[in-house]
Amino acid sequence: MEELLNIDATEAARLVRERETTAEALTALVLEHAGKTEPRVGAYLRLDVDGALEQARAVDAGKVSGPLAGVPVAIKDNIHVKGQPTTCASRILQGFTAPYDATVVQRLRQAGAVIVGKTNLDEFAMGSSCENSALQQTHNPWDVSRVPGGSSGGSAACVAARSAFISLGSDTGGSIRLPASFCGLVGYKPSYGRVSRYGVVAFASSLDQIGPFTRTVRDAALSLKVMAGRDPMDSTTPEREVPDYPALLKDHLKGKRVGVVRSYLDEMPNREVAGAVQRAIDHMQALGASIVDVELPHAEYGIAVYYVVASAEASSNLSRFDGVRYGLRKPADNLLGMYEQSRGEGFGSEVKRRIMLGTYALSAGHYEEFYGRAGKVRTLIKRDFDSAFEKCDLIAGPCAPFPAFKAGEKSDPLSMYLCDVFTIPASLAGLCALSLPVGFDAAGLPIGMHLQAAAYDDAGLLSAAHALEGVLKPEVDRVPAIA
């Protein structure tokens, strides 16, 4: 049975569907394996053992069916799962239990997925290493002295450690793609609006998207097909047809034009990352793609724009956590004192930093100077991508400037923020993007490639990644020792 832990979700669903194994046996195997790996990895904030086994038995009894029937799935703990705590890895949501399922969770259940637990994250999804969690530390399964990336570090770590087949994360500026790169997984950020955010605790509403961590591109395509589509509870989801993403995957790149920003590779300090990405680009050319140089002249301002826009939106969204309706409430002599005590003790330092930055950027005397100007530069970044996509179908480059770093190594905020230098522009422009494993460094740490396509060209992006994955598989098909 142990060998089942290393198959992908598509194959696991097939085995359950064809009665070669049972959903209960598969779920029990994953839960047992999590019991062995969690003391060293710490991916989960909680495992729902009884609930998961009950869901699996319903699949085996024929009460639930679908394309993911019997597949164990983990959920980042800023996404509501009815009846379970939602903590956002923060003290301020102490005692809060979700009253309903998020739309993405509801659709996973309808597809037969078995929800096994909630995963750790940087508090309120603010961070790039999963070190900002107020509840516990998550470690990278490839080397437990290193971070798994963030903010969706727990979701990445559990799939890499084989204690889930698929997990959900949220991506605001790279929070799926960066951990996927650090943990050797496929991490998919859909086009903005492709997947509903209803039931997701908001960080930055114009940027947040929900997407999967998987072991293969085919699994990512299947997950997106299940979750995507119009949701009347989320006005940012348009009335657009959801393609059959798995059926559209191809094994070649004939006719595809792949854009490359040469400076990203030529000026990359880590030559192992640059070399792995360049080899992957060479493979894309061998698969039939033509390689063209493109420029993104305003992308260098992406981090500055992001930390103004995202912090401003966070300042607004997190104002609801005041100790009045739910979560932590600290006693005080008056209402203002209760606000100050509850928020002061409930939020961690990174969350406070971004709330203060965002409140300042939105203040009457500074709004146009900061938030207004950031919005204008964001438009320029989007126009750069529009111009680039007139010359190419997708853009390829590095996902992160380096492989996973050691815990505590990047203690100052600026060095941590720079982790997302390659992923943030796609979020600002609302593109679809993914991280694909393309190699390892000399220490055996995974290296990810960043692939981006125009908004709502998710099918084209997934197909290109699938073709490249087929060529790279012999080079990247490894399993972490901890798994």
List 291's β-bridge partners, or say none: 258
- What's the distance, CA 152 to chain centroid? 6
Catalytic residue among 152, 155, 167, 175: 175
Q: How far apart are CA 169 and CA 128, in angstroms?
A: 13
Catalytic residue among 128, 133, 151, 435: 151
Residue 440: partners with Cβ closer than 8 Å, 6 or more residues away: 184, 276, 446, 447, 476, 478
Mark whether 427 is an active-site residue.
Answer: no
Mark whether 406 is an active-site residue.
Answer: no
Closest CA to 458 of 192, 198, 210, 279: 192
| Per-residue exposure over 277-296, b if at least 16 CB sit within 10 Å of its own CB, e if not | bbebbebbeebebeeeebeb
Mark whether 76 is an active-site residue.
Answer: yes
In contact, 438 and 280? CB cutoff 8 Å:
yes
Q: How far apart are CA 170 and CA 326, in angstroms?
A: 23
Instruction: Find where tokens 């060209």 sit.
Output: 457
Q: How far apart are CA 480 and CA 157, in angstroms?
A: 10
Residue 211: partners with Cβ closer than 8 Å, 6 or more residues away: 168, 169, 170, 171, 176, 187, 188, 189, 190, 195, 220, 223, 224
In contact, 96 and 86? CB cutoff 8 Å:
yes
| Per-residue exposure over 50-75, b if at least 16 CB sit within 10 Å of its own CB, e if not | ebbbebbbbbbeeebebbbbbbbbbb
Phi-psi sector, 66: left (phi>0), alpha (psi -120 to 50), beta: left
In contact, 401 and 269? CB cutoff 8 Å:
yes
H helix runs in 406-457, sequence order: 413-417, 424-429
Sign of CA dihedral 158, 159, 161, 164: positive
Based on DSSP, count helices (H) and strands (E) in the chain, helices before strands: 16, 11
Catalytic residue among 76, 225, 256, 410: 76
Q: Count other Cβ atoms within 10 Å, centred on residue 97.
A: 13
> What contacts 24+ positions apart, CB below 8 Å, involve 346-350?
346/90, 346/91, 346/92, 346/93, 346/94, 346/321, 347/90, 347/91, 347/92, 347/123, 347/318, 347/321, 348/90, 348/91, 348/123, 348/132, 348/134, 349/132, 350/122, 350/123, 350/126, 350/127, 350/132, 350/413
In contact, 452 and 272? CB cutoff 8 Å:
no
Give me the active site residues, please. Answer: 76, 151, 175
